Structure 1
């Protein structure tokens, strides 16, 4: 740990691993021999040194045995299971600070600017703790990658300040959780990336006691430490008593409503929930960033014979080639193929086999990954077979991906765009990009960077889609088909689509925007502010909605 002991982390962790005290050596008379040093004065040996002793016959490690001759448990799945950690005082302060700020600034019921601010504070807190107490040495490239993941996490949470669509923001929050966990734990292979993506929440759940034990390591040293405690206590008193006074008097509440939340039952429950979630989440992120994610046990590379992997992959290549050849007209026939095929509608052509083809493109990635891992690469012939078969499989799968994209574009052209269709199209484009990456890695048969590219590109695509405003794109694409517009669907959109829907002719405009306007309630405080909702309210204030007499009795637009 950078050669320093901070707040009792090393001492406590070391003490947790020391064996129980044994009796001091005695002389024949039963008294302690002063010439024999006590065991507690002897330098402590690392616990790992005992398990790293010699191997048995044929190089196979012997199972460790206890002093009584009983065989000990087998080695764990992870090569290095960290001991029961004790948090340094900085981790406890960071976790409590982020929890309090989140309870004050995070709006749970809607997207708002508070999400991005909490994400920024959490990221800064984890970075400061990792910089102070970090035990993992990172290369320059690894640091850049983790900074990129952390920036993506903050950016995805910041989408809450500009987009109002709930479904989109839920995806952003989930993506931010994955990106933030990877920023703390890292990862290279598929396994380590999967473990890294969930390392923070798992650590926060299974290591609850270490935060409580770490509170005992807090020490106030020097005038700066005492001043920090004084500032923290002052802020806590200000928040608690200020909020109570705001709840007791309306005039005082109006005066400080911009800064402090009012105290009521739901607000207390919501704030308490946010506080504890952020406290343990921040603590888990700090522990992963300081200690590093658990490492997978090293295993010898596993290979199979050339024929054993080439036979199933070759069969797949033949199957894919036959499918593409027979269905070439259906794959790319589009409008002409539909018109020339009796009894085939656009919906049947676009939807027929779409999900099956999408599943094929995803499953083929797993086949390519397993073949790359198990196939031998010792000779020139083995490497050539690997390049040819996997390259052919990738190219044919790219054709199938292009077929899926063609089908969904045809469906959207005829029946209009929807958010689901846009998401499916985006996913298919991303899968196509992944196969191009796989082809590039297959040229030199070096694909250790492929898993990172896949995860990072997926998070980047999600962020880019959020910035592009998908509901705005869908509404814009439907504006050209006003005569057969699905007004019922458009009325279910969020404030993100209001600038486009505001251009609809009356009475359709008022019928479509009526249900949306009912959800455009004023943001109760600065933490709930959202650019899309604010812009929509301004538009509707400048041009109020007309009478909804042409809408149905429930206030929804009649089908046109």
Structure 2
């Protein structure tokens, strides 16, 4: 009975290594053409299936959150195929290590509704470290008590090492002896060259090594969050009052000034600040969002080290209220910024972060300040995941293009055509829809650039593993409108 209990974990770890090796081979085949595309979607689907199977094999109920976070990763990968903008794809890529980190947290019993901010922080830090070193204990546990199997595996390796050079030599001799065999051998070696085989082997093993480090957390129940063992300093009532109270006074003075801006209109802004509307809009938006993020981090740390929780909660509530007013001011500046300078993808991203911070501050007040710290970390993480997925679904590049085109059409504002086209294929249908309403110079330049960047005579023959829906849609739209575009682009095709 004891032997059976001792062997079962080792068997599970061997199955984990086999699963990682299969994922390594699939990763080499599916991701070699490029990291983003349907190949990544298929690979993540296989990785999620393997991880769920291993979690189910452990007999624990934690396979359900594994399914949930695997689904999040799968949705992120699928949206990368839909969107063509590199920045949006980068944001979606961030959800992949986040999903891995949430699965890592299951190792010490943390999950949504039962996790602290330190759990999420340590899990994110663990993702790269487990990819580098996580396979070592897995290999040690898998080989325990399996000396005969290891000897047989070593024998197989020695046999291959001896056979491959012999096959190489005799194939050369047989090819010289017969022309037909030589043609067959040439075709075989064209497909399976030593260099290419080595490349495939190295890539597959590297992927398998990283994946095995992540899969190990599913079968290892003895994990620990080491961040929880780090001793934190403590501050008393006086320190809490001085630190948080001084910040409350500073923020309060700033907010009083902002109230005049918010309710006084353009005349109050110019009279009080001495700035034009353009200067006021340009200054402060990014700084106020940064202040909100830093304040949230400070309040979390202060709540962990303060010994006077009643005083801390009162001052923290005041600070949250003041920061929320700052975020309203930042939103006002954002609207003015768009009216004056137009919309860009990074400005829209910061606005999304601002909304997430506002929600997180409200969640902080409803959870941490009421002694429910577990729900704060879970809620803010879920809000971040939803924000990124919704942000990608709404086609932000198309939205930015639409806003800037409308400014040019309705308000006769200048149009940055280079930035408009740099938004990628997601913006092409929007540009084509409003092209006729643009001034002649911008219409001519955009038509020429669209024909050059998305040439209608070029067929889409890209590898299915890196196929992109937005890119195919853009090329099809340009092909449908090519006659109209050529007419509008006359005089702008020089140099193309």
TM-score range, shorter chain: 0.7 to 0.9
1:328 Cα offset (Å): 2.6
Which residue does 1:197 correspond to in 2? 124
3-state SS of the aligned residue for 1:417? Answer: coil
| Alignment CA distance shift 1:150-1:518 (3 Å) | same
The one of the two structures with greater contact order (alpha-carbon pairs below 8 A, sep at least 6) is 2
Equivalence map 1:317-336=2 (5 Å):
317-330=248-261, 335-336=266-267
Which of 112-121 and 193-202 deviates more? 193-202
User: Residues 190 and 416 (structure 1 numbering): CA distance in 2 closer, same or farther, change over 3 Å?
Assistant: same
Q: How far, CA to CA, are the matches of 1:533 and 1:181 in structure 2? A: 32
Compare the two structures and name the one with the higher helix fraction.
Answer: 2
Out of 476, 486, 490, the position equivalent to 1:546 is 486
TM-score by length of 2: 0.76
Structure 2: stretches of 5+ with no match in the other structure = 147-182, 437-442
Q: How many residues align?
A: 432
Task: State the Cα distance separating 1:489 from its structure 2 match.
Answer: 1.0
Match of 1:369 in 2: 300
CA separation of 1:442 and 1:426: change in aligned 2, threshold 3 A: same
User: 1:140-159 deviations in whole A, cap 9, x for unaligned?
Assistant: xx765554333222211121
Q: Which of residues 445, 456, 460 is equivalent to 2:386?
A: 460
- Report whether the alignment pairs 1:530 with 2:468: yes
Residue 290 of structure 1 corresponds to: 219
Classify 1:314/1:339 alpha carbon distance in 2 versus 1 (closer, same or farther; 3 Å). closer
How far, CA to CA, are the matches of 2:430 and 2:400 in structure 1? Answer: 10
Match of 2:424 among 494, 500, 517: 494
Q: Equivalent residue for 2:31?
A: 106
Alignment correspondent of 1:58: none
Query: Structure 1 residue 175 and structure 2 residue 95: aligned?
Result: yes
Distance in 2, matches of 1:107 and 1:476, equals: 36
Q: Distance in 1 between matches of 2:198 and 2:293?
A: 43
Change (3 A) 1:370 1:184: closer
Rounded to whole Å, the distance in 2 between the matches of 1:433 and 1:167 is 23
Distance 2:7 2:82 in 1: 41
Deviations 1:182-230 (A, max 9, x none): 12334422222112123243122124445655675799xxxxxxxxxxx
- Larger radius of gyration, structure 1 or 2? 1
Structure 1 residue 412 displacement after superposition: 1.0
Shift of 1:532: 1.0
Deviation at 1:549, TM superposition (A): 4.5
1:157 aligned residue = 77
Structure 1: segments with no counterpart, 5+ residues: 11-85, 220-247, 254-261, 556-560
Q: How does 1:430-445 map to 2 (within 5 A)?
A: 430-442=356-368, 444-445=370-371
CA deviation vs aligned residue, 1:40-69 (integer Å, no higher than 9, x gap): xxxxxxxxxxxxxxxxxxxxxxxxxxxxxx
Aligned with 1:344: secondary structure?
coil
- CA 1:554–1:319 in 2, change beyond 3 Å: closer, same or farther? farther
Q: Contact (CA 8 Å) 1:113, 1:529: kept in 2 or not?
A: yes
1:471 matched to 2:397: yes
TM-score, with normalisation over the residues of structure 1? 0.68
Report the alpha carbon displacement of residue 386 of structure 1 after superposing the two structures with TM.
3.2
Q: What is aligned with 1:349?
A: 280
Matched residues in 2 for 1:166 and 1:113: separation? 16
- Report whether the alignment pairs 1:450 with 2:388: no
Task: Check 1:535–1:552 CA distance in 2 against 1; reply closer, same or farther (3 A cut).
Answer: closer
Could you tell me which residue of structure 1 aligns to residue 42 of structure 2?
117
1:281 maps to: 210
What is the root-mean-square deviation in Å for CA atoms of aligned residues? 3.6
